[in-house]
Amino acid sequence: MDKPLILVTNDDGITAPGLRALIRTMKEIGDVVVVAPDSPQSGMGHAITVDSTLFSKKVVIDQKNGAPSEYSTSGTPADCVKLALKVILDRRPDICVSGINHGSNSSINVIYSGTMSAAIEAGIEGIPAIGFSLCDYSWNADFEPCLNHVKNIVSEALTNGMPKGTVLNVNIPKTEDLKGVKICRQARGNWNEEFDKRTSPSGKDYYWLTGEFELLDKGQDTDEWALSEGYISIVPTQFDLTAHHAIPQLNNWNLNEQ
């Protein structure tokens, strides 16, 4: 029986330690093909390249026998998945995994996440997809404590299939003592943002985005709660953005009166 074909991507760039850890883990499950940005693309959301050229080339990063096929691209994480599916791969992948991101993509962060947007792009194409993030922004973050959990989550998705129209947003707390896994909802929260005005050496003004995350949700069924308690959070995320609960109210508006 053929091994599953696993498409691996990320938003931190093809040399990121989190991606390398994910590749090693996925090689224990199936055949791996990597298509990832040639430079960091954090915070790109679901941006795609439409008004400039897009480049992709095969690269060799892992010199060991059995190293996966790897391709770096000049585009966004969503571009990587599009190129993989339409140009690079010769068969449809059984699953797409994105990450492991250096930093949290819990709560409202999922909206801005390039990691999750790559997974969502695969999900739109009907491919099971999971985004993984470790709540540690350091380039030297330790991914080892979570890799068995990552392997198990992907294996379960391959065995059981994914709920239709969803991708999984998996966040992992920064701890060596993981308590387990919780299925969660997305916590309600936002960023209190400011723009720090600065001056360049040439005398031009520029702005640097800063801010603090504010948790507005005290529920004990959220991703933020699970992470704070030492659990890996899994939030099933849908790419149908319709607010279905709002349709009855809007149908009461007099929209057809001139």
Q: What is the pLDDT of residues 198-208, one digit of tens each?
A: 999 999 999 98
For residues 5, 10, 13 and 15, what is the CA-based torsion angle, rounded to 10 degrees?
Answer: -50
| Residue 136 domain flag | yes
Q: Could you tell me the residue range of the domain that residue 44 belongs to?
A: 5-187+219-250
| Residue 43 domain flag | yes
| Residue 198 domain flag | no
| Residue 199 domain flag | no
Task: Give the predicted TM-score (pTM) of the model.
Answer: 0.92
Question: Which residues lie closer than 8 Å to 62 by C-beta, 6 or more apart?
Answer: 20, 23, 68, 70
CATH number of the CATH domain containing 92: 3.40.1210.10
Q: Kindly give the pairing relationship between strand 31-37 and strand 56-59.
A: unpaired
What is the count of structural domains for the chain? 1
Q: In the structure encoding, which two tokens stand for residue 186, read together?
A: 């997305």
**Please, are residues 235 and 184 in contact by the beta-carbon 8 Å criterion?**
yes
Is it the case that residue 210 has pLDDT exceeding 90? Answer: no
| Residue 206 domain flag | no
3-class SS at 199?
strand
* Confidence band of 211 (pLDDT split at 50, 70, 90): confident
